[in-house]
Amino acid sequence: MAHFTQLQLLTELEPVAGKELDRHLSAAKEWMPHEYVPWTEGSNFDGPLGGVPWSPEQSKVSTTARTALVVNLLTEDNLPSYHREIYQSFSADGAWGTWVGRWTAEEGRHATAIRDYLLTTRAVDPVALERERMVHMTQGFETSYQPDMLHTVAYVSFQELATRISHRNTGRYTEDPFCDQLLARIAVDENLHMVFYRNLLNAALEIAPDQTVQAIWDVVEGFQMPGSTIEGFTRRSLAIALAGIYDLRIHHDEVLSPVLKYWKLFELEGLSAGAEQARLKLAAFMADLDLKATRFEQKRAAQQARLAERLG
Ligand SMILES: [Fe+2]
Ligand SMILES: [Fe+2]
């Protein structure tokens, strides 16, 4: 089968990007981030305004909820880095350029809304948050794969879904109905983003199946959450996994599997030997991930049982 250059793929897929952009624009409902923030709960901080400094007892959410909220916000904060990646691997022309702009504008709303919410309700330490934002954004985001269009679209198909679930579950976990409401609204956006990328990659599978299957495997194998370069991410993601907000089971069952199923990846016929090889590795990877997810669930259940015993 012919090997497509990036430019050929971008040209071939531009009408699909256009169709998906139109679908997105008619499905996306305008929403106002300021309407989700309980402004009357806010008060001045110390510094130039001479208000009250933050202290942990002001926060109504648990330590683990704070961890998840901070990771989610820092991830959204790093938007300029993702914008660079997407802009460079797509094109500024036609539907590609319009999508990149629109997607960036929608994502920009997420960090704004979450930050307004967290600072107004004093849910997290604003000084630590700002310092972390500086470090995280300075460092930027690095992909584990070749940042061309196919790899980028494969990555964001999974990543948008992962982010959607992470926001949704974090909202529930806070037990704060306003926070839950805001994160649920953001999750709706992330879902529409996932649909755009997933459908685009579906079209790529028809045009260039071998290259696309290879890109999917590369991305699944090296998948890291976009916030994985946040300081202490390993420790924090363990807390997030123990809380059931995002863990291997969710990654396997609710992120990778449904998208692979949508693409009918394991039903594709006529792949090249190389792509077939990549698909076999992907199948083995999924089986192994399933095992690891089960082992983690068992460990977590045992830990929780021990804890309950100690407390009881
Ligand atoms: Fe977002
Ligand atoms: Fe998104």
Tell me how far apart the alpha carbons of residues 305 and 312 are, in angstroms, rounded to a whole number: 10
Tokens of 284: 């083995």
- The alpha carbon of residue 102 and the mean position of all alpha carbons in its chain are separated, in whole angstroms, by 17
The CA 308 to ligand 1 mean position distance, Å, reads 36
Q: How many CB atoms lie within 10 A of CB 294?
A: 13
The CA 82 to ligand 2 mean position distance, Å, reads 10
Tell me if 75 sits within 8 A of 163, measured CB to CB. yes
The CA 73 to ligand 2 mean position distance, Å, reads 12
**Ligand lying closest to the C-alpha of residue 79:** 1
**Ligand lying closest to the C-alpha of residue 159:** 2
Of the candidates 186, 178, 260, 181, which has an alpha carbon nearest to the alpha carbon of residue 223? 260
Residues 6 or more apart whose CB falls under 8 angstroms from that of 238 comprise none
Lookup result for tokens 């300081």: 231
Cα-based distances in Å from 46 to 39, 49, 119, 147: 18, 6, 13, 43
Of the candidates 229, 176, 158, which has an alpha carbon nearest to the alpha carbon of residue 69? 176
**Ligand lying closest to the C-alpha of residue 72:** 1
**Ligand lying closest to the C-alpha of residue 78:** 1
pLDDT of residue 144: 83
Lookup result for tokens 């009357």: 40
- The alpha carbon of residue 163 and the mean position of all alpha carbons in its chain are separated, in whole angstroms, by 3
pLDDT of residue 235: 96
- The alpha carbon of residue 170 and the mean position of all alpha carbons in its chain are separated, in whole angstroms, by 13
On whether the pTM is more than 0.85, the answer is yes
- Give one word for 140, left, alpha or beta, with left for phi > 0 and alpha for psi -120 to 50: left
The CA 130 to ligand 2 mean position distance, Å, reads 22
The CA 76 to ligand 1 mean position distance, Å, reads 5
The CA 264 to ligand 1 mean position distance, Å, reads 27
Tokens of 129: 């948050």
Tell me how far apart the alpha carbons of residues 229 and 227 are, in angstroms, rounded to a whole number: 6
The CA 135 to ligand 1 mean position distance, Å, reads 19
pLDDT of residue 269: 96
Per-residue pLDDT of the chain (312 residues; tens, 9 = 90+): 689 999 999 999 999 999 999 999 999 999 999 999 999 999 999 999 999 999 999 999 999 999 999 999 999 999 999 999 999 999 888 999 999 999 999 999 999 999 999 999 999 999 999 999 999 999 998 888 888 999 999 999 999 999 999 999 999 999 999 999 999 999 999 999 999 999 999 999 999 999 999 999 999 999 999 899 999 999 999 999 999 999 999 999 999 999 999 999 999 999 999 999 999 999 999 999 999 999 999 999 999 999 899 987
The CA 232 to ligand 1 mean position distance, Å, reads 21
Residues 6 or more apart whose CB falls under 8 angstroms from that of 312 comprise none
The CA 190 to ligand 2 mean position distance, Å, reads 4
**Ligand lying closest to the C-alpha of residue 86:** 2
Tell me how far apart the alpha carbons of residues 179 and 194 are, in angstroms, rounded to a whole number: 22
Residues in the 5 Å CB sphere of ion ligand 2: 160, 190, 193
Cα-based distances in Å from 14 to 9, 10, 91, 223: 8, 6, 10, 26
Cα-based distances in Å from 259 to 107, 198, 266: 21, 7, 12
Instruction: Pinpoint the alpha helices (H) of the chain.
Output: 6-27, 63-77, 79-89, 94-120, 126-139, 149-174, 177-207, 209-221, 233-242, 248-250, 257-262, 273-311
**Ligand lying closest to the C-alpha of residue 112:** 1
Lookup result for tokens 């079209």: 203
pLDDT of residue 1: 62
Question: Position 278: which residue type?
Answer: A
The CA 189 to ligand 1 mean position distance, Å, reads 7
The CA 165 to ligand 1 mean position distance, Å, reads 11
